[in-house]
């Protein structure tokens, strides 16, 4: 299949694009590199640098690639920026997505896979775990904008017959995760501790999230290439982990016994407790998480150790007058 991955230079999108290529599909990537990196682009994928809010740019990409599937991961995904700049958040997440939906219909795309969020759209749930049919009450502009696109998908399916699947991710972590923004807590903690600094926990450390390793998220994206049309799936673990427990896992992975975090006031727009019911994905996709938190943390820590070592080597070479390898 010919697959267009938006946000394919980012953390999740690049892993998904890589898996599509490994499965034998043709892959094109659209990314504006505002949060993604060229280093994340998988070999074999065609790359188009540009903004999904630029309709003329997208028209050229669709005309050239004629994708059969759109895997939409590009987004404004910083909860705090969404609170500070709700117009920007809506422009990227809603209007940019509408451009893609319109072009998908105009060019005959056969499936639209949408990366939504489970951590931000349910608001503060009264009971846990939260299933897909739980009332949606987001408390941040980011959660509002991500959920709004789900309504557009339903409408486009009814109006134009566009097949779609929604994957509501829990808190995804793993190699290539960015430390920019609060969603990258594993990356933030690893980077600070490897630099000899104390991680900062916002609140008292009891804030609860449902963390899912990137490889498990990738498997879900492969499965929905041919399954789950018109459905919404929580992709998580069904297990809640507190901020302090994440800190303890990172500390264990680094062998940093005795290290402790700093604490700061909680931030507006953040949900305090969210754990997801993943029964629908188990039953209808045959999917379930396979990587436990301890193993996922170990793999993530190994990645950040390598990155720090490579950075140190590069600095040493430059200090010694050696040109970096290109």
List residues with catalytic annotation.
142
3-state secondary structure the chain: CEEEEECCCCHHHHHHHHHHHHCCCEEEEEECCCCCCHHHCCCCCEEEECCCCCHHHHHHHHHHHCCCEEEECCCCCCHHHHHHCHHHHHHHHHHHHHHHHHHHHHCCCCEEEEEEECCCCCCCCCCCCECCCCCCCCCCHHHHHHHHHHHHHHHHHHHHCCCEEEEEECEEECCCCCCCCCCCHHHHHHHHHHCCCCCEEECCCCCEECEEEHHHHHHHHHHCCCCCCCEEEEECCCCCEEHHHHHHHHHHHHCCCCCCCEEECCCCCCCCECCECCHHHHHHHCCCCCCCHHHHHHHHHHHHHHHHHHHHHHHHHHHCCCCCCC
């Amino acid at each position: 299949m010919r697959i267009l991955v938006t946000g394919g230079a980012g953390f999740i999108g690049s892993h998904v694009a890589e898996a599509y290529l490994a499965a034998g599909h043709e892959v094109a990537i659209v990314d504006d590199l505002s949060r993604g990196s060229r280093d994340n682009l998988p070999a074999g994928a065609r790359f188009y640098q540009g903004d999904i809010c630029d309709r003329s740019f997208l028209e050229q990409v669709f005309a050239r690639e004629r994708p059969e599937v759109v895997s939409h991961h590009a987004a404004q995904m910083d909860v705090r920026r969404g609170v500070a700049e709700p117009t920007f958040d809506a422009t990227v997440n809603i209007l940019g997505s509408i451009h893609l939906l319109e072009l998908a219909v105009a060019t005959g795309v056969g499936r639209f896979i949408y990366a939504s969020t489970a951590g931000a759209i349910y608001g503060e749930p009264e009971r846990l775990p939260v299933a897909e049919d739980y009332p949606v009450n987001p408390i941040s502009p980011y959660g509002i904008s991500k959920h709004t696109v789900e309504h557009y998908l339903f409408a486009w399916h009814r109006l134009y017959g566009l097949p779609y699947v929604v994957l509501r991710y829990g808190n995804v972590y793993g190699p290539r995760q960015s430390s920019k923004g609060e969603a990258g807590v594993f990356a933030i903690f690893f980077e600070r501790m490897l630099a000899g600094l104390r991680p900062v926990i916002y609140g008292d450390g009891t804030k609860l999230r449902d963390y899912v390793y990137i490889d498990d998220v990738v498997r879900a994206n492969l499965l929905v290439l041919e399954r789950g049309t018109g459905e919404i799936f929580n992709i998580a673990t069904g297990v809640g982990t507190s901020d302090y427990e994440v800190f303890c896992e990172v500390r264990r992975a680094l062998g940093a016994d005795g290290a402790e975090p700093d604490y700061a006031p909680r931030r507006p727009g953040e949900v305090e407790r969210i754990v997801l019911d993943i029964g629908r994905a188990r039953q209808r996709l045959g999917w379930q998480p396979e990587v436990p938190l301890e193993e996922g943390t170990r793999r993530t820590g190994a990645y950040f150790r390598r990155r720090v070592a490579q950075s140190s080597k590069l600095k040493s070479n430059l200090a010694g007058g050696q040109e970096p390898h290109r």
